[in-house]
Each structure stands twice: as structure tokens, then as C-alpha cells.
Amino acid sequence: MTTASAPRILDGFDWEGKIYSDGWRAGDAESIPVSDKSTGERLGTLGIASANDVARAAASAARAQVAWAATPRDERAAILARAKDLLAEHRDEFAWWLVRESGSTIPKASFEIDVTLAKFDQIISELRTGAFEEVLADDGGYRSVAQRVPLGVVGVIGPFNFPLYLCLRAVLPALAFGNAVVLKPDQQTAVASGILTAEIFAEAGLPKGVLHVLPGDAEPGAALAVDPNVAMIAFTGSSAVGKLIGSAAGGNLKRVSLELGGNSPFVVLEDADIEAAARCGAWGSFLHQGQICMASSRHLVHESIADAYAAGSRHTRSGSSLATLRPATCTFAGPRARNRSTLANGNGAYQRSDGER
């Protein structure tokens, strides 16, 4: 893995302080620093999009989408295949940024890249082999045909925790099947999920205007949800923000895909192998510092083994198997976990471990 120098994929162009919208240009909003979440080291400067940037990008995407939808499927598949090859070629650089932007461990970053590559393979295969027209049963001498057609422009709003995969999981099928995309990656992890993504697609030959990358926080996301040129919103993030996006998009009759925060119980019954359960429970709670919607947020343990399970969890957490999962100093999970701990203690819970960051 690259550790001593910045990723090579960024060396060939001036990305700092810029958004990707018909090429690299400055965004209307003020730029922000990109930092290493574990050390606070400044890694670069990120361009931030405004609502006006979103409006311009969505209009450009709507114009570019017409020709992109008319591009033969094999040509679209070839461009996606080249982008996949570039991701594989530069996986060390992608991992470098995933580790530093999101507080990820190296194994987690590698896993995220692997599942993203697999998603490329799946979408490319569906594009090349899938049926997009179906002859329907009819009577009376009529011929009825159902045909799948692109929506137009798809807005994708990505999260900070698994930024590369959870952005491209929506971007890839949208592009593959003839849509243009306006991607708003979370500004905390926008290089790995947005800046690098824009560059591999540009190098792969994706026509200008088909993909726009507009990092930012609430303002560009809200603008994307109501823009008249955007036919669908795909959002992954918190339930609170998902409600706002769903309401705004629904009010404008957009299609919406929402994957929101989880609240996952980990149940341990009285006949469980306590050591194995404690290890699995610790893994479920502390993988990627708990910054996962499927993280084990509650442990429901039979009272007859509760003390033994708590003791096993404390031992597992401090053991070598979790040495790489120490929380980074600048992640979102820390304050949220502290708030939940305070709430639990105020409602009758008692703390079995020190609970310090």
C-alpha cells in the first residue's frame, strides 16, 4: 500500500478546490480542507458545490443524457469496463484515501474496493445480457410490448462510512442503463468516492456532461432533491435526513431510493458459546469504529450469562484481534456513541467499561 506519498492518480490534474461538472472548475461555495481523520494532517483542498452549481450540473446532465441513452449498450459496457480496470489498477491509491478520509483500516478499505469491483462486473454483465424489451400477452389482434427506458438524470447522495461502494452502487446502474448522474458525495470522504471516481470515468471515455461530482453538505443535497431536471434521487444516510429528502423528492414526483440508518439487535441466548458470542458481538459493534448502518447497536443477552458475556466482551475488545479497530480521533461515530451512552445511563443503564475515546 502507498504510505509515503500522495496517490499517483491525482498527480496528473489540478483537482484541489474544484468540482467536476463539464470538466474541473471551482465551485461557488467556499472550499474546505481535506484531512487525515486519524492524525488531522491536511491532505488537500476540496471544492464545494452550491445550489447554483447543482442547477447548472443538472441542466447539463439533462442535455448530455439524450446522446448517452442513444449510445449502444456494448459501447456503454466498454466504458464501464475500462473504468473498472482503472479502479483495479489504482486500488492502492483508492485504499490510501479510504483509510485517511474515513478512518478506515486497510482490510476494510480493501474489502470495499473488492465489492465495488464486483458491482462493476454485475452491472456490466446485466448491461450486455439483460432483456430490455418484453412482448406481453394480448388479444384482439394487438401486439403489446413493454420496454425499459432510462429515467433521465439520477441524483446520487452518498454517505461517509462506505463512501466508494455506496456511491458507485447507485452510480453504476444509472450510467449503465442510459441515465446521466449528478453525484453528491459526502464532503468528509469526497476524494475517494467522488474526485477519484470522476477521474477514472473521464479517463475511461465517459462523455462530458454525463457524470457530475459535486461535493458538499446540506445545500447541494437539498437542491438536488427538488431540481426539476432530476428524475430520481438515490440516498444512503441517516433516517432524519432521509425523511427530508423523501418528502422533498416526493413532493416533486421524483422516484426515490432510500437506505437509512439501522438499529440492529445482537441477541445472545443462554445456551450460546460465550467466548464466540463475545467476539462476534465485538466485531459487529466495533468494525469500522461502528460507522456502519448494520452495526450491532444493542446486545440483548440472557440474564443468566450477562456477566460472563460482558467480561468476555471487555477481554475481546482489548485483545489483539481488535487492535486495528481503535477509533480514529475525528470520526462521526465518537460523539454519537458518547451521546447514546449518556442517554442510556440516564435511563437506568450502568456502565461496565470505561467508555472513553
Annotated catalytic residues are 259, 293
Distance, in Å, from the CA atom of 48 to the CA atom of 34, rounded to the nearest integer, reads 11
Residue 4 identity: A
Q: What is the full DSSP assignment across 152-184?
A: SEEEEE--SSSHHHHHHHHHHHHHHTT-EEEEE
Do 15 and 27 touch, CB atoms closer than 8 A? no
Distance, in Å, from the CA atom of 51 to the CA atom of 224, rounded to the nearest integer, reads 8
Distance, in Å, from the CA atom of 125 to the CA atom of 114, rounded to the nearest integer, reads 17
- Cell 479517463 locates to 203
Q: Count Cβ neighbours within 10 Å for each residue of 181-210 and write b for 16 or more, e otherwise.
A: bbbbbbbbbbbbbbbbbbbbbbbbebeebb
Cβ atoms within 10 Å of 162's Cβ, excluding its own? 26
Do 163 and 189 touch, CB atoms closer than 8 A? yes
What is the C-alpha radius of gyration for the chain, rounded to an integer number of angstroms? 23
β pairing state of 24-26 and 18-20: antiparallel
- 43 φ, ψ to 5°? -110, -15
**What SS3 state is found at 299?**
strand
